[in-house]
Amino acid sequence: MWPSHGSNPHYLYEAAGLSLPESFLDFSANINPLGPPAVLQERWGDLFYGIGTYPDPHTASLKEKIAKREGIQESQILIGNGGAEIISLIGRLIAGKKVMIIEPAFSEYEKACRINNCDVSYYQLSDGWDIHLDDVIEKLSGKDAVFLCNPNNPTGMYYKTRIMLPLLEACKRENCLLIVDEAFYDFVAEYESLIPYLKEFPQLILMRSMTKIFAIPGLRLGYLIADGGLIEKLTDCQPHWSVNSVAIKAGEWCIEDERHISRTIQFIHSEREALYQFYKENNFEVSNSAINFYLLRDKESHDQYPLFEFLLKQGIVPRHTFNFPGLEGRWLRFAIRTSVENVRLMEVMKAWRKLNP
């Protein structure tokens, strides 16, 4: 009965049997709290003149900018109508195959696999959410594809190349695709790119979202980087004009604004430090997140639902974790929001702790 995603809080309140308050703060959607780059507002009117013609079905102008930034060929890029379309296309690529999902993970991977009649198995990360390479590699035998969310959603954990390279090597030995969802990579202060390894490991697929870091979820925009042969197969499955002209042009402007990304990383780091210090002092446990969201639970209680309900009644909207295998509601996920909103969250958490010492 619980909503499958964050945002749209009225669905969450309805599922919880509560009335939606007149005012609330939504910590359930992991969008950049600084908002979109200023250029979008400054030049928004210019986008009007493009809606009277069909968009470029090849999204060539945006591919060119991404290719230049990443040092790759345009033939290695597919632009999609958000991460949801890209995951759906990958589902069609691996239809009927044996797939392993490293959990907890974004629920859309399994949904896309099930729709396409994949044989799905799981590797469940233990508490702490570290990847134990020997255990994962042992389970790769006979698999055609593996999904890994890195940085991870919902934990915020980031796995560096010392973890990813041995996993890539094992996937190469097993002739197994490694599908890495990097939707939140832009938020990582010390991100280590896997793009230089694409030539050596042609079974590597990188999914990226532009909606999170640039705060444009209403435009639906993401892209995929992979071997040119895989891109051709995925493109054959994609409808013409799936990415509209407004999203394409907005994406071009966003890609050029590197300062927006650096400002965001600095802001998120500062706010996360303040929040984590507060949680430590008030006996809350949090995940070792490297990005703009984190998991939290009250160490004083095994059941997190009373805290969840308390927050909703106070107009604080966390993301439930009932549909994340391995979590099943034992944690709550929070986005890092503006400084004012984060202070309000800490005030409500302090009120909870006074009632539940």
- pLDDT of the residue at 49: 87
85 pLDDT band, cuts 50/70/90, is very high
Structurally, at CATH architecture level, domain 9-30+259-355 sits in Alpha-Beta Complex (3.90)
Where does CATH 3.40.640.10 sit in the chain? 52-256
- For residue 1, is pLDDT > 90? no
Tell me how far CA of residue 357 lies from CA of 121, 279, 284, 287, 299, in angstroms. 41, 14, 11, 22, 11
pLDDT in tens, 114-134: 999 999 999 999 878 999 999
- For residue 4, is pLDDT > 90? no
164 pLDDT band, cuts 50/70/90, is very high
- pLDDT of the residue at 19: 93
pLDDT in tens, 283-319: 999 999 999 999 999 998 889 999 999 999 999 999 9
Where does CATH 3.90.1150.10 sit in the chain? 9-30+259-355
165 pLDDT band, cuts 50/70/90, is very high
Q: Which of 24, 15, 11, 5 is nearest to 348 (CA)?
A: 24
238 pLDDT band, cuts 50/70/90, is very high
7 pLDDT band, cuts 50/70/90, is confident
Rounded CA gap, 311 and 179, in Å?
35
- pLDDT of the residue at 127: 76
Number of neighbouring beta carbons within 10 Å of residue 55: 18
Tell me how far CA of residue 182 lies from CA of 205, 206, 310, in angstroms. 10, 7, 33
Reduced 3-state DSSP string for the chain: CCCCCCCCHHHHHHHHCCCCCCCCEECCCCCCCCCCCHHHHHCHHHHHHHCCCCCCCCCHHHHHHHHHHHCCCHHHEEEECHHHHHHHHHHHHCCCCEEEEEECCCCHHHHHHHHCCCEEEEEECCCCCCCCHHHHHHCCCCCCEEEEECCCCCCCCCCCHHHHHHHHHHHHHCCCEEEEECCCHHHCCCCCCCHHHCCCCCCEEEEEECCCCCCCCCCCCEEEECCHHHHHHHHHHCCCCCCCHHHHHHHHHHHCCHHHHHHHHHHHHHHHHHHHHHHHHCCEEECCCCCCEEEEEECCCCCCHHHHHHHHHCCEECECCCCCCCCCCCCEEEECCCHHHHHHHHHHHHHHHHHCC
2 pLDDT band, cuts 50/70/90, is confident
- pLDDT of the residue at 60: 97
Q: Report, as an integer, the average pLDDT of 224-235.
A: 97
Q: Report, as an integer, the average pLDDT of 315-329.
A: 91
What mean pLDDT, rounded, does the chain reach? 95
Q: Report, as an integer, the average pLDDT of 81-100.
A: 97
108 pLDDT band, cuts 50/70/90, is very high
- pLDDT of the residue at 343: 98
- For residue 341, is pLDDT > 90? yes
- pLDDT of the residue at 323: 86
- pLDDT of the residue at 126: 83
Question: CATH code for 52-256?
Answer: 3.40.640.10
- For residue 3, is pLDDT > 90? no
Q: Report, as an integer, the average pLDDT of 204-228.
A: 96
Work out the percent of the chain whose per-residue pLDDT is above 90. Answer: 91
Cβ-contact 269, 284 below 8 angstroms: no
- pLDDT of the residue at 121: 96
pLDDT in tens, 15-52: 999 999 999 999 999 999 999 999 999 999 999 988 99
Is the overall model pTM greater than 0.85, yes or no?
A: yes
Q: Report, as an integer, the average pLDDT of 211-228.
A: 96
Rounded CA gap, 258 and 250, in Å?
14
Rounded CA gap, 153 and 331, in Å?
13
- For residue 320, is pLDDT > 80? yes
